[in-house]
Structure 1
Amino acid sequence: MQLQKKGIGATEGHARLLADSYRRWMGRELIGLVPDRGVWEQLFEAPKIILSHGTETDPVLNFGNRKGLELWEMDWEPFTGTPSRLTAEPMERAERDRFFEAVTANGFVDNYTGIRISSTGRRFYIVNAIVWNLIDEEGAYRGQAAAFSEYRFI
């Protein structure tokens, strides 16, 4: 897997936004962060899948950690240029859209299960994902993120 860190999701600030927003909504840490290491590196190497998208009209993925890139079978650059709706099959997209509207309204959902598809067409269930809104220090909405450890190929 090739990693060329470019764009919003490649910044330490974005990594902190992911971790801080998660803590704000869930009242616990996304992962156990080591103080002397960068947050971006720790999220990228985390043992769970972590990804996020921005606030575009058709939101584009802007972060995926190593495990996420492997699951979606993509390198950093194509992954972070992909509209997030394309991670679901066309027949699953309406359900996905309704779900993300609920996350926007409520701030987070902590038990999402849904079908996704990799870049090569491999289908899988994500199980018990936590999805949360990204809110910066000024209270501005910056997108949404998801984290999960469990998935099953179908």
Structure 2
Amino acid sequence: MTPQERNQLIGLLDQSYEQWTGQGLPVPSERAKQRLEWLDQHSPYGLLIQNTEPDPLFIYANQQAQLIFGYSLAEFLATPASQSAPPERQQERNLMLAEVANKGISNNYRGTRIRKDGQLFEIEGSIWKVLGKSGEMLGIAAMIWSKEVSS
């Protein structure tokens, strides 16, 4: 992924969030001019996008998401999004995705996820449709906060 492609995805992620909520993703006012870089490199919350394939793959993960899940960006981009939740939590994940499909966004989402090393952890956050410039759905994004990792 080139820096330009990454910035385009982050921009669409941010614009889509604003479309669903009426405000952009939280960024400190002093970093507004470097908004996209801050969201990618310095955000305290994870940002992820999965594509719209029947078995979606991640197409973007910021630095915080990589830290939370323990994957490098290259590993994320080769990982099916369904692997982010343990098998016994797939139904919960599917219900959340159905809500996003119907409403466009799911706020106050909570769920169990699995790190690369197999450890389970809890997340909370928002999940929303990412739309392209002509309104087509490009994927589903997540802004997540991680709780303490459990064994």
Same fold by TM-score greater than 0.5: yes
> 2:68 is matched with which residue: 67, 71, 74?
71
Q: Corresponding residue for 1:151?
A: 147
Q: Which residue of 1 aligns with 2:13?
A: 18
Q: Which residue of 2 aligns with 1:3?
A: none
**After the TM superposition, which residues 36-47 of structure 1 pair with which residues of structure 2 at under 5 Å, given as runs?**
36-37=33-34, 39=36, 41-44=37-40, 45-47=42-44
Residue 48 of structure 1 and its aligned partner are, at CA, apart by 1.1
1:98 aligns with 2:95: yes
Higher helix share: 2
Structure 2 residue 10 is the aligned partner of structure 1 residue 32: no
Distance 1:103 1:118 in 2: 23
Distance 1:101 1:18 in 2: 19
Q: Secondary structure at the match of 1:36?
A: helix
Residue 55 of structure 2 aligns with which residue?
Answer: 58
- Counterpart of 1:87 in structure 2 is 84
**Aligned-pair CA distance for 1:110:** 0.5
Aligned-residue CA RMSD (Å): 1.9
Matches of 1:132 and 1:141, distance apart in 2: 10
User: Structure 1's 62 and 29: CA in aligned 2 closer, same or farther, altered over 3 A?
Assistant: same
Give the SS at the match of 2:49.
Answer: strand
Shift of the alpha carbon at 1:101? 1.1
Q: Percent identity?
A: 26
- Number of matched pairs: 147
Shift of 1:55: 1.1
Query: Do the aligned residues in 1 keep the contact of 2:27 with 2:39 (CA within 8 Å)?
Result: no
Distance in 2, Cα, partners of 1:143 & 1:35: 25
1:137 and 1:30 map into 2 onto residues whose CA distance is 18
Deviations 1:50-79 (A, max 9, x none): 111111111111111111101111111011
Question: In structure 1, the residue corresponding to 2:33 is in which secondary structure?
Answer: coil
Separation (CA, whole Å) in 2 of partners of 1:133 and 1:117: 22
Alignment match, 1:125: 122
Q: Classify the secondary structure of the residue corresponding to 2:129.
A: strand
Q: Distance in 1 between matches of 2:72 and 2:15?
A: 26
Distance 1:69 1:9 in 2: 20
